[in-house]
Amino acid sequence: MSFLHIGWLAYLALGLFAGFLAGLLGIGGGAVMVPILVLVFQVAGIAHEHLLHLALGTSMACIIFTAWSSMRAHHAHGAVAWDVVRAFSPGIVMGTIVGTLVAARAPTRGLALFFAVFISLVAIQMALDFKPAAQRELPPQRGLAAVGGLIGFVSALAAIGGGSMTVPYLSWCNVPVRRAIATSAAVGLPIAISGTLGYLWNGWRVGGLPAYSLGYVYLPALVLLVVGSVLTAPFGARLAHRLPVKMLKRLFSLVLVLLAAKMLWSLYA
């Protein structure tokens, strides 16, 4: 079997795995997809300077579909605070676009170091089940737009939907946890759309990218990742009510750190 077919199987398997984890633990797929995509792209012989950028752009495009599905589910339960989403969105879009500009111009190793450090912090937060105490109220619209800008900027650099930052912030601002999670899911859609457009634009005229790429989005991987994640996310969501999720999150936090470390090693070696 050629590597082309093995690679396609790897993308599908990664989508199945990421979708299951998203349903089970509420973890955005980017944290898992990016380091594994880097390894698969590396074996495929993609140029070193494009490995991480292509993984980030492809992962961000995949989040569009998962964020849309999650947003619809939460909206059906009336749990999304749409006024907060509207206030966040201008800053989210600007911050995400700026983030993709910075990412496109950042060297692969520096970008990989930022990703690894950020994902390790997310893993620590997950392992400790850290939830900030509600100590304040939501700021006015300008304040939310500024916070959205920061969330969008970091999300673009790490190809995540922003939930690891949005949920703790909203909880800190006295928003009930379920409403914070639902609102974060809705915020993930403008992050994913603007981030994908940014990676498309910034990679559009870059040479040395593989065939069937649109900018920094690799279409064969995107299609198979989406198919896999859509298939398994509902199963993960059902098992979330039967399995010890807190213990699984602690174990998975270790997996995240190991994946990030492996990615760093492969890019720096």
SS3 label, residue 85: helix
Cβ atoms 91, 152 nearer than 8 A: yes
pLDDT at 222: 94
pLDDT at 195: 93
pLDDT above 90 covers a percentage of the chain that reads 30
Cβ atoms 96, 198 nearer than 8 A: yes
pLDDT at 48: 86
Compare 164 and 220 and report the one with higher pLDDT.
220
- The residue extents of the domains of the chain are 3-268
pLDDT at 108: 87
79-94: per-residue pLDDT in tens? 889 999 999 999 999 9
Cβ atoms 193, 71 nearer than 8 A: no
99-123: per-residue pLDDT in tens? 999 999 998 888 989 988 888 888 8
10-26: per-residue pLDDT in tens? 899 988 888 787 766 66
Element holding 45 (H helix, E strand): none
pLDDT at 1: 41
Which pTM value belongs to this model?
0.88
- Spatial separation of the C-alpha atoms in residues 66 and 8, rounded to whole Å: 20
Cβ atoms 48, 267 nearer than 8 A: yes
The arithmetic mean of pLDDT across residues 189-209, rounded, is 92
| Confidence band, pLDDT 50/70/90 cuts, at residue 200 | very high
Separation of first and last alpha carbons in the chain: 28
3-state secondary structure 177-202: HHHHHHHHHHHHHHHHHHHHHHHHHH
14-67: per-residue pLDDT in tens? 888 887 877 666 666 677 888 889 988 988 888 888 999 999 999 999 988 888
